[in-house]
Structure 1
Amino acid sequence: MGTDSEPPGTAGPPAPRIGGTPVDGLLTAALPRLTRLMVAAFTAEVPAYAALPREELAGDVTRVCEHGIRVVARALRHGPGLADPGELLPLVRSAARRAEEGVPLSAVLCAYHLGWQLGLDELLAGAGPGDLAAVAATQRVALTQLRLATRAVTDAYLDAREALHGYEQAARHDLLTALLDGRDATEAAARAGLRPAPAYVVLALAFADHPDEALPGTGGAVAARRKVRRARSEVDHDARGGALHALGPHGGRVLLPSDDAGRALGEDWGRLVALVARLADRTGAAVLAGAASAVPAGVPAAVAESEEVLRVARTFGRPPGAYRVVDVLLDYQLTRPGAGRDRLAALLAPLERQPALLETLRAYADSGFRRRATAEALHIHPNTVDYRLRRVTVLTGLDPTLPAELPRLRAALAAHRWGTT
C-alpha cells in the first residue's frame, strides 16, 4: 500500500478485480452516471449544496466529482498516493470557492464522504464471495485517497476562510472607527457588507478575570483568549452578525444595531440585560456594562456616556449587570464636575488621614446606615462603630446618626469616592 510520501508514478500491485473486471475500469465506465448520482445526492442530502445556483452544480461541482472519480481510478490502477502534487488542485480550488460562498466546512466534507460512499457502492455492487481480497484492497485504496483529499480540501477551505475573515475584520474595524469618530459610515458599511443601522446601542464592558487566568505559564493567556472568543461569539450571535466590537481580556466596546435608539434602552431593555447575563455565563466571569444609545452621528457621545455609566457603577460597587444613566442617576449627577462636587468632597477631607474612620463611614452608608450591619461587615464590635461615627462628627461636623444629615453625607461620600478613583 502506498503512503503520502510515495514518489509520483511508483508502480503498485495490479489493480484489484471484482467479477473478473479491473475496478478502475468499472469506475471509469460508470463516470457519467456516477457523477450525476453524486450531484443529485449532494442536493438531496446536504442543504448547503441544495442552495447553490444550478450553474454552479452543473459546472464546478460536476467537474470536481468527475476529477475525483478519475483520481480514485488512477490510484486503483497504479496504487494509492498522488501521481503528482497538483493532482488534487481542482479539489483545492473548489474548496476555496465553497469557502467564499459561505458553504460550511462540515457540508463540504459531508459531500466528499457521500461521494466516496457512492463510488464504493458502485465498485462493490457486483462483488461475490470470491472477491473478498479485492474488496479489501479497493477499500484501502479508496480510504487512502479520501484521507489525502480531505486534508487538502480542509487546508484550502480554512486558508480561504482565514483570508476572508481578515478582510471582513478589517472592513468592520473601519466601520467601527468611522462611527466612533462621528464620520459618515455609509461607505465603510458597504465595504463590510452591512447596512448602516438607524441607531446603535453602545455597551462599555468590563470583564472580571476567569479563575483559569491565574494559571501559571501559558495557561492563563489561553484562558483569557478563550474568554474573549466566547464573548465575541455571544455578541455576534445576539446581533445576527451585525455587531461591531473591540474586545480584550478586560472588556471593551460593543455597538449593537438597533431600529430605535429610545426603545433599545426602554421597552427593549430586558434584552440587553439578558445579553450581559449570557456574556457572564458564557465567559465564566462577572460582567459589568454601561449602556447608551444614539443614531449613527451621535455614537461618539453615546460611547462617552456608556463609559461614564460603567465607571460610576464600578466606583460605587454596583453588582455585575447592565446599567443605564437612569439606573445610576443620583451617583452620576453627584459626580459631575463643578464647584458643588468639589465642596461636597471637601467635607470629608479631614478623614483622609483617618482611613479607619472613612472606611467605617462608607460601610455605614453601604449598609443602609445600620450600625450592626456595619459592624458585621467590618468584623468589629457595634460599640466601635459608635465610637468611630462620633469621631466623624467631631472632625467633619456631619452627624451620621441624624436622619436629616444623611442625604448630605451620602452626597459627600459619592463626590469624595469619585475624586479618589
Structure 2
Amino acid sequence: MTQMYSPEPELARDQRWQHVIERIHAQTASLAATLKTDDLLPHSMLDADFVPSVQLNIALFFRSLTMDDELSRQDTRPLVERALRLIRDGMSLEEILTNYRVGTAFLWRRSIPALDVAEYLLLPELGLRLTNYLNLVVTHIATALVEDSRQPRWDVLERQGEIAADLLAGREVTWNGTPEIPIAEAFLVAAVRLGEPAPGTLTTIRNRLGLLPGTFLYRDNGGWIALVPRRPVDEGDPAAALARRIGLPSRAVQPECWIGVATALARADIPRAYTEAHTVAETARALARPETICTRKHMMFEYSVAAGGATLAALAALLDPLADNPALLETLDSFIDNEFNHSAAAQALFIHRNTVTYRLSRIAELTGYDPLLPSGVSTLMAARVAQRIVTYPARTTDPHRHRPDPTN
C-alpha cells in the first residue's frame, strides 16, 4: 500500500525554521568578526567599517526571516547611508552592488553546511528569502542614490572628482559654464595604500585629508589619491608636514596603511608626482616599511628598484633558484639586515656561524651572485626588494596602471 505524504504540522515547521535561523545566524555572525576581506571581496572593500557592515547585513537579514512584513527604508537606513558615503567618496555603484552580490553568495554558502539533512526541505524558502533581501536592499540603495543625486552638493562633489582626474592626467581643467572652484598652483600628492587597517582607520584618514582646505580626492583601484595644496612650510619635509596636518604619526610599529608623498611645484608636475607617490606607497606596503607617511628620500635604494619598470620582474627572477630552499632566503635576509655580519646573522637565526657561511656559498652557487662581494650582495639586495614587490598579494606595481586616461 502506497504511503500518503503527510505535511509537517505548521507549529513543528515554525519551530524547526526558528531553530535553523538561530543556528545559521550564530555561525555566520561569529565568522564575520574574523573575516579576511581579501578572502571574500575585492581589495577595494578594505574600507574602515567593512566588518561592522558585514555584521549589520547578517543581523538585518536574519531579522527579516522572522518578520511577516518586509524591511522598511528605516530598517535598511544604516546600509543605505554607508553606500551613499562610498559613492560620494568615489566608489562606483557597480562595485558596491557587486559586493552585495558576492556577499549574498557568501551567506548562502555558509548557510547550507549548517543545515541537517532533514532540514534541506527549508532550502527553497531560505533561498527565496535571501534573494528578496538582496533585491530589497539594492532597491533602497538605488532609490536613495537617485534622491541624493538631485541635491546641489552632489554636483560639487562630482566636479571636484573631475578636477582631480584632470590634474592627475595632466589635462587642462575646463569649466564649460560650471562655477569655478579655486585650484592651488602647487600640491603635495599623497597616495594612500592599505595594509590591514583596523575598523575606522581608512575613513579617518580620508576624512582628515578631505577637510584640508583646497584638497581634491580621487579614488583609483589601488586606494586613494589626495591633492593637498602645498604651503611654504612644507618644503623641508613634506612627509612630516602632511603627518602634522592630518594628525598621524610619521612612523608606527606596525602601520595599517602607507601614504607615499611627492611634491608638485606646478600643476604640470602633478602627473610625475602621482607616479612617484604611487611607487613610494606601493613599495612601502610591499616591504612593510615602518614609516606610515614616506617619500622617495626615505627609500632611495628601494625606490630605484621599484621604478625599474620592465627590469623589476627580471631582478626578482634572479632569486628563483632559491625558491625550493626558504632557509637560504631567510639567511640572505638576516645577513643583509645585520649589515653583512656573519655572527650577528647566525645569532638572529639561532644557527652556527659556519652554517651561515655555508648557506651564503650555496646562494652564490645557485644564483651566480656572491653575497660576500659588494657587486654580488648589491644585486641580491635589489633582487630581494623586487621579489617582495612583485609577489605582494594585492600589488599594483605599474605606476601608470590606474592613472586617469588623458584622452578622456
Give the TM-score of the pair, scaled to structure 1: 0.48
Over alpha carbons, which structure has the higher Rg?
A: 1
Higher relative contact order (CA 8 A, sep 6+): 2
Give the TM-score of the pair, scaled to structure 2: 0.49
